Amino acid sequence: IVKSGLILQSISNDVYQNLAVEDWIHDHMNLEGKPVLFLWRNSPSVVIGRHQNPWQECNLNLMREEGIKLARRRSGGGTVYHDMGNINLTFFTTKKKYDRMENLKLVVRALNSVQPQLDVQPTKRFDLLLDGQFKISGTASKIGRTTAYHHCTLLCGTDRTFLSSLLKSPYQGIRSNATASIPALVKNLLEKDPTLTCEVLMNAIAAEYAAYHQIDNHISLINPTDETLFPGINSKAKELKTWEWIYGKTPKFSINTSFNVLYEQSHLEIKVFIDIKNGRIEICNIEAPDHWLPMEICDKLNSSFIGSKFCPIETSMLINILHRTCPEDDEVHSKWNILCEKIKGIM
Amino acid sequence: MARRPGSQRRRAPSVEPAPRKGREGPDRGVAGRSQAPSGEPARPAGSTASPTSAPQLPGRRADGSAGSPAPPTARQWFVPNTPSPRGRVPGQPHFRLLPSPISGVRPPSAPLLPRCCPGPAACPGRSAARSPPSRSINSSGVFSVRFFRTTAVCKDDVVTVKTPAFAESVTEGDVRWEKAVGDTVAEDEVVCEIETDKTSVQVPAPANGVIEALLVPDGGKVEGGTPLFTLRKTGAAPAKAKPAEAPAAAAPEAEPPAAAVPPPPAASIPTQMPPAPSPSQPPASKPVSAVKPTPSPPVAEPGAGKGVRSEHREKMNRMRQRIAQRLKEAQNTCAMLTTFNEIDMSNIQEMRARHRDAFLKKHNLKLGFMSAFVKASAFALQEQPVVNAVIDDATKEVVYRDYIDISVAVATPRGLVVPVIRNVEAMNYADIERIISELGEKARKNELAIEDMDGGTFTISNGGVFGSLFGTPIINPPQSAILGMHGIFDRPVAVGGKVEVRPMMYVALTYDHRLIDGREAVTFLRKIKAAVEDPRVLLLDL
């Protein structure tokens, strides 16, 4: 039997383009007798699972400030942080040949071929643990009708401090049945052994894959924007970037929180109850004390928010229009601004 | 007609389990009579069964209520069947009903209604097959009602889809619905996803049809084999409505997520400030054309044939309603007029070419021509303060402002924003370019604060980026005027008695005629023209 298979590596570091490659291979390639390994790395990005809530999983404000991209992948599982010190591996097989443990064992063999003393073990939850303690890899997968893929991360030299600050949500009072991430203690392989760089490890895993599937140890570099190679891939990447996909696919959730504003040397509490469906505000109840902001103005704010995206930019624009349609006196105007800035802070 | 005594009675038990609720059998149309929802079959004439023995079906009376008159004798209400034109099942007698005093006699088709089919009204896709009961008066002067069968077809067409078996000894997963009850789906289209232990498994529709019921709530737990949903099969695949909704609904469609950095507009925003033609519609102005429901090209998909005439309705979101309201208010309050002029851009272009590198070196900014227009406007506003003023309708006063804050309409991936450059009267070109660049940067990073977009005494909008030749901008309340810039196109013009080709731009000034007279407006615009065509005018204060 002539064994067949492919090892691909992306030349792009754009998370959306690389996720689009996964979609494309999953949708278009016939993997019968021809498994594929895809190696990719991304510039700093946070990637949430298919059914997760970004507000619950990461610090969106910090991400906006730092220019960190947010992507939602199509496989399940939890939230991860990617940067160039992290390798992503995707194992494509037919549905019948789907076997995550086999894939992880292959990765462990590859690691041990570079560093035989390395203590890496897969867990029942398909994580890889270093020295029995530190998570160096997390797994997620997607099963379609005939094909399936299992992808996992591998921490070589990621910025761990940044990772933990990004993956810590500051948003309070969220009630949701979205899939929750399980935080874990992580460590970089480079910290254990400085020879374990990304390049070294990618080559080792490719070699192990080639040996296991008895194919040529040859890594094909691919350009995820090449429409001739992957017809239709650019529209897949485009869809992954849309607000409707990234935020709009969040399962329904509600926020029940409050914040304080300073008024005449005392703090006033403003309560917020918001229901969000498909990323848009379905129900909005912002309760401010009547003596601070007249109730009609609060009501106007509440009703204006309904239907708009749960997003600070959209909120800014909405407030701006509201200003122009209902000019108020300066004092109300500035209170309105304060209130809106606070509200934007919880988005 | 085969009528075997007791045959109907034998059939009765199959009706027993039929659900009671929601049934709207055609006999509801019969003079609003109350009825026994039990599909009690009509008894054949000559049957030895007593017609009053209604409780053959446990717990139910034929008339479904106390105190109704006893059901008539079989002879009274059963009339030998007249072949019905359609839908008749062979061997199934066809009955005609007398309206009163009969109550609650179920039409013969009812016994075959399966448990899953609540009745014709709730049977989507089958409505074509069921026609409303037709009434006719026969010779004996009684109403007769015909019922046409469809139910046997219904029964075979409903499918319950179960959770697929999980891989690798996983025991349970969470359901995430992609479709809702009533949605039409095509075969293999994803109806829901099951998330098990970091794996997302798609559950496709087994055939074309309509989702009838979701048997698990969103986020609910299921095991392999748990029933997930029921699908009523239809013949046809659904029309491709989705693509039509996608461009229309995803208004700022090409936008990246909030945390991402959109590369393409970044370069253009600081230098050119490319806004949409009509500045006073902040967000979602790009899809002004896309949001119109009528021309939904994707509906006429390839293969869908010519002449598709469906419509697509989309509720206006609040923001759009507000924009609409505001624009209309502006139109209704101001007496809006537009005056035009044209500007020869050769000097400005030459100035830019000559000083571009030095400017970049010193200020680390690109020298656009927006600064020329902003400064020219500020100059003209100082010369004509009434254009910088506004009418306060509440107090019937004219408010003259000593400061000049110019709102510049900027198109961002998210939609139109109108940040304000404050106190332009004190700025030079470099200052203006710097502020424009900063505001553009903020807009690109989605950091514009509410204060950045507040106020403004005059607006400049640039439709030229989109290739506009000529146009009438709309005033951005509460202001009194707006300058619209358009595209620069080479045109032959008369210069010193000869024809030359010059890069020309049409400019438009829409103004509130209640406050600003025609002469003032024209003079104002001419001042802008002079200051842009020859910036020395600014230095010389001409």
Least confident of A194-203, A240-249, B173-182, B514-523: B173-182
The pLDDT-based confidence of B305 (bands split at 50, 70, 90) is: low
* The pLDDT value given to residue B58: 42
CB contact under 8 A, A324 and B478: yes
Q: Is A75 on the interface with B (CB under 8 A)?
A: yes
Cβ neighbours of A307 in B, within 8 Å: 315, 317-319
> So what's the pLDDT on residue B1?
41
**A34 in contact with B at a CB cutoff of 8 Å?**
no
The more confident residue out of B84 and A27 is A27
Is this complex's ipTM strictly greater than 0.85?
Answer: no
| CATH code of the domain made up of A6-247 | 3.30.930.10
Higher pLDDT among residues B531 and B416, named by residue = B531
Q: How far apart are the first and last CA of chain A?
A: 57
The partner residue sitting opposite A242, judged by closest CB among B250, B329, B450, is: B250
Chain B contact for A318, CB < 8 A? yes
| Average pLDDT rounded to a whole number, residues B375-385 | 94
CA atoms of B168 and A150, how far apart (whole Å):
13
pLDDT digits (tens, 9 = 90+) for A317-329: 888 777 766 666 6
Instruction: Quote the pLDDT of residue B147.
Output: 47
User: Which residues, 6+ apart, have CB-to-CB distance to A245 below 8 Å?
Assistant: A72, A239
Q: Encode B370-380: b = buried (16+ Cβ within 10 Å), e = exposed.
A: bbbbbbbbbbb
CA B65 to chain centre: 47
Which residues in chain A land under pLDDT 70? Answer: 1-2, 324-329
B324 close contact with A: CB closer than 8 A: no
Cβ–Cβ under 8 Å, residues A15 and A245: no
Annotated catalytic residues of B are 513, 517
Give residue for tokens 């977009």: B453
Q: According to CATH, where is 3.30.390.50 located in chain A?
A: 253-346
How far is it, in rounded angstroms, from Cα B192 to Cα B203?
A: 5
The highest-confidence range among A107-111, B182-186, B466-470, by mean pLDDT, is: A107-111
Q: Which of residues 362-381 of B touch A (CB under 8 A)?
A: none
Half-sphere exposure of A40 (CA within 13 A, CB side): 27
- pLDDT at residue A320, rounded to an integer: 78
pLDDT digits (tens, 9 = 90+) for A163-209: 999 999 999 899 998 888 888 899 999 999 999 999 999 999 999 99
A179 with B174: Cβ contact below 8 A: yes
Q: What is the pLDDT of residue A319?
A: 82
Res B249 pLDDT > 90: no
Q: Is B249 on the interface with A (CB under 8 A)?
A: yes
Q: How far apart (Å, rounded) are the C-alpha atoms in residues A343 and A255?
A: 12
Of A139, A313, A319, the CB nearest to B198: A139
Alpha carbons B488 and B467: distance in angstroms, whole number: 8
What are phi and psi for residue B171, nearest 5 degrees?
-100, -35
Q: Tell which wins on pLDDT, B208 or B303.
A: B208
Crossing angle between the packed helical segments B370-383 and B429-444, to the nearest 10 degrees:
120
pLDDT at B318: 64
Q: Where are the alpha helices (DSSP H) in chain A?
A: 15-28, 54-57, 60-66, 100-114, 160-166, 189-192, 198-213, 233-241, 243-246, 295-305, 312-325, 330-345
| Secondary element (H or E) of residue A214 | none
For A253-346, give the CATH class.
alpha beta
Question: Taking a C-beta distance cutoff of 8 angstroms, is the pair B509, B525 a contact?
Answer: yes
> Where do you find CATH 3.30.930.10 in chain A?
6-247
Q: Provide the percentage of residues in chain B whose pLDDT is more than 70.
A: 56
Which 325-354 residues of chain B touch chain A by CB within 8 A? 325-326, 329
Contact B244, B308 (CB under 8 A): no
Residue B125 has pLDDT above 90, yes or no: no
The CA-CA-CA angle for residues A136, A139, A141, to 5°, reads: 165
Q: What is the mean pLDDT of residues B423-436?
A: 90
Contacting residues for B44 by C-beta, under 8 A, at least 6 apart = B3, B5, B7, B8, B74, B78, B93
Is the Cβ pair B450, A316 closer than 8 Å?
Answer: yes
How confident is the model at residue B167, as a pLDDT? Answer: 65
State whether A324 and B476 contact (CB < 8 Å): yes
- Minimal C-alpha gap between B315 and chain A (Å): 10
% of chain B beyond a pLDDT of 90? 24
* Run of H or E residues at A291: none
- Asked if B200 and A143 come within 8 Å (Cβ–Cβ), the reply is yes
Confidence check: pLDDT of B375 > 90:
yes
At residue B121, the 3 state secondary structure works out as helix
